[in-house]
Structure 1
């Protein structure tokens, strides 16, 4: 992560306060360009750290179904990470793997650290402000339409499972 980008995101977080801190973050897209969370304001967001070679990789199917079921009302963002040594070697390999095996059309970032001092600023914010750090691949984070943290889950809950869908539905009906 570029030091200037990190400092800019950190300054924006401090200015916005903890409830809206996530709105200041952006992620590089695996397809080029950038995902700016400010552009997604007004919709709940499910952020999931992923890995192509993990035993939970089958959850990509559920993430795609969430993406399709809530299209236009909520967002899903997959964040590939090699923090647990289970990701492929390049973004091109990850993109091809996900397209061929899962037909993914949901937004996906480049490979990002999600733990420790090199973690993407979004994940550092989660660790600092909310004491949440992914303990394994496919940990899930749900943010409300204003970017406030609503819930976190470990690897086991299925993306289309009752717990996660109920939380998203609750945000949409509020």
Structure 2
């Protein structure tokens, strides 16, 4: 009986010594893209808040990819729909080492080869352990409130509405001139 009481007392003392768990507040995620600011490839910041009232097409890009010629279509789309759409490119070296350059090299390539005038962010990671917070938000329904998506390769596209909510995603093979994208701009 003594042993039983000793065990009970020790158990009570041990349980009392365990620190109380703090209630964790759920992490608050931005509900629209307008909450994000990202470094620009030109220096400075791309503040998505300034694009309120326009659709936004976010694209992860690469300079040495079979889809790289899509820069031309992205630029055309941007110029033709500038009143209601902004295209923002995010260079990333996550797939096949197809974006090895520095920000300066990427910027020079895009302007010289394709005449890119749409905003480009500084190079980021779009998958993996160091995924940029914007791409975590774009790919997680829990965070964006709309859908789960995957960035499977370069030139994956995310279309957001005028209020900053995710509308649709498009795989790499969907070109900027495709009806799949254009129907949202009519």
Q: Establish whether residue 67 from structure 1 lines up as the match of residue 84 from structure 2.
A: no
Structure 2 runs not aligned, ≥5 long = 1-26, 142-146
Instruction: Count how many residue pairs are aligned between Structure 1 and Structure 2.
Output: 154
Q: Establish whether residue 106 from structure 1 lines up as the match of residue 118 from structure 2.
A: yes
Larger gyration radius, structure 1 or structure 2: 2
Query: How far off is 1:40 after superposition?
Result: 0.6
Q: 2:92 aligns to what?
A: 81
Q: 1:43 aligns to what?
A: 54
Structure 1 runs not aligned, ≥5 long = 1-9, 170-174
Give the alignment's TM-score, normalised by structure 2: 0.79
CA distance in 1, matches of 2:115, 2:101: 20
Provide runs of 4+ in structure 1 moved above 4 Å.
Answer: none
Q: 2:35 aligns to what?
A: 24
Q: What CA deviation, in whole Å up to 9, does each residue of 1:109-168 have, x standing for no partner? A: 110111123111111112222321210000010000111111101001110111111122
CA contact under 8 A between 1:114 and 1:120: conserved in structure 2?
yes
Q: Which has the higher helix share?
A: 1
Q: 1:167 aligns to what?
A: 184
Aligned-pair Cα RMSD in Å = 1.3
Q: 1:140 to 1:86 in 2, by over 3 A?
A: same
Q: Establish whether residue 52 from structure 1 lines up as the match of residue 63 from structure 2.
A: yes
CA contact under 8 A between 2:138 and 2:158: conserved in structure 1?
no
Moved more, 118-127 or 148-157: 118-127
Give the alignment's TM-score, normalised by structure 1: 0.84
